[in-house]
């Protein structure tokens, strides 16, 4: 598969529990942050994004938190479901529309 050779951090949760996926970003000048979900054999799928003038944004079952002081981004998934099993990538950009700089990804495994 695509993850061969790439040792991803993994997170294993029980179905129905909440998941928290963390990401440290590199550039303090980044203004835009985004989370993508990638299932095996597919491309990254947009989940949620946030600008640097915000510290929290909520979507359906997902929340993104941004801590600019420590350059940390997190994705919270409420009531995790088996369909949430995937690799999750955070990405940053100096501005929305600019090139994205991706993190290494975290593999989420949901146990039924």
User: Contact residues for other proteins (CB under 8 A)?
Assistant: 2, 4-6, 34, 36, 41-46, 49, 89, 91, 95-105
Q: Least distance to other proteins from the beta carbon of 109, Å? A: 20
Pairing of strands 45-51, 56-58: unpaired
Q: Which residues contact 47 (CB under 8 A, 6 or more apart)?
A: 34, 35, 36, 37, 59, 62, 75, 88
Q: How many CB atoms lie within 10 A of CB 75?
A: 24
Q: Which is nearer to other proteins, 72 or 94 (CB)?
A: 94
Closer residue to other proteins, CB minimum distance, 38 or 74 = 38
Q: Which is nearer to other proteins, 45 or 109 (CB)?
A: 45
């Amino acid at each position: 598969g695509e993850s061969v050779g790439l040792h991803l951090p993994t997170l294993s949760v029980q179905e129905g529990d909440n998941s928290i996926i963390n990401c440290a970003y590199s550039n303090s000048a980044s203004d835009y942050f985004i989370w993508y979900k990638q299932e095996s054999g597919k491309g990254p799928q947009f989940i949620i994004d946030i600008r640097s003038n915000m510290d929290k944004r909520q979507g359906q079952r997902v929340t993104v938190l941004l801590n600019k002081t420590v350059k940390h981004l997190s994705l919270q998934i409420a009531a995790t479901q088996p369909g949430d099993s995937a690799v999750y990538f955070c990405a940053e950009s100096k501005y929305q529309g600019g090139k994205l700089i991706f993190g290494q990804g975290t593999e989420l495994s949901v146990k039924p």
